[in-house]
Amino acid sequence: MSPSPWNRLVWPRTPHGPGLPALSTGSARAAGPVLAAAASRPLAWEWQEGPSAWEKCVCPGPPRAGPAARLLLTCPADRLPRRKSKAKPNGKKPAAEEKKLYLEPEYTKSRISDFEFKELVVLPREIDLNEWLASNTTTFFHHVNLQYSTVSEFCTGEACQTMAVGNTQYYWYDERGKKVKCTAPQYVDFVMSSVQKLVTDEDVFPTKYGREFPSSFEALVKRICRHLFHVLAHIYSAHFKETLALELHPHLNTLYVHFILFAREFSLLDPKETAVMDDLTQALCRGGAGAGTGGGAGAQNHVKER
């Protein structure tokens, strides 16, 4: 009997005597899954004639000679009981991480301007910090809203059932602080509506001479930037193909670089918040200014909620 492609199984050694019944295919099937796998095949027995010599034969039961006998079963490997699979309960193996199209060098080098944005984000002399933050935050809001509108018809409740970027899922929190699970278009609508309400509020974003900014203004700007970052990250992760088809990726890259460098200049975004897009930030900013620090490698290993 050739050992390949068959597996050789040894039944435990049994004492042989006149009263030992022959082990037929039926009793082999009842003996367990290993024997049942080979029950339809002839049973090979090995018996001991002397102290060290073992003889082999193929028969339906143990030979009636020799002091001891043991059963050898041969069966195809694909009929043997297998170890439990490490696949998911639904039987599907975890899908390999999809290649990020927006990281391709031919796309990361696309810009609508080669201007050095590091110089553009610096606070000019004799300009109030809050005025500078208010002006830029309002501008970023309008540009992000405009950029999202170009792909909004593709961002539907069916296509984007959650507001997710990679393994990070975002939830909206209402005015009472209650977490709301929503689709991506719903989340973006919440963001744009809330930001629109803030930037048009004279008590928060004053436009008239002599009006003071509220003491919580910087905290509000940070919250706005965090939500705008979520929208930009979602466009890259879920709708970059559509952006590419519309040939608007140079505009998206330019907006992202300007926004990230501005936020880093005034510490408006927590590095842990932007870690999910650190690979893009490093690619667009050429590994220099604006590159994320810490947390980038581990951000993709498990699902996060924010």
Q: What is the pLDDT of residues 267-299, one digit of tens each?
A: 999 999 999 999 999 999 874 443 333 333 333
pLDDT band at residue 41 using 50, 70 and 90 as cut-offs = very low
Quick check: 180 pLDDT over 90? no
Quick check: 149 pLDDT over 80? yes
* Contact of 11 with 72, CB cutoff 8 Å: yes
Q: Cα–Cα distance between 282 and 57 in angstroms, integer?
A: 70
Annotated ligand binding at 160? The verdict is: yes
Annotated ligand binding at 155? The verdict is: yes
Of 37 and 68, the one with more pLDDT: 68
Annotated ligand binding at 57? The verdict is: no
Annotated ligand binding at 225? The verdict is: no
pLDDT band at residue 201 using 50, 70 and 90 as cut-offs = very high
Of 115 and 26, the one with more pLDDT: 115
pTM, two decimals, is 0.63
User: What's the average model confidence in pLDDT over 168-190?
Assistant: 90
Domains (range + CATH), the chain: 6-77 (no CATH), 101-305 (1.20.140.30)
- Nearest 5°: CA angle at 150, between 278 and 303? 35
Q: In Å, what is the CA distance from 269 to each residue of 21, 118, 134, 220, 298? A: 79, 16, 16, 12, 19
Q: How many CB atoms within 10 Å of residue 87?
A: 10
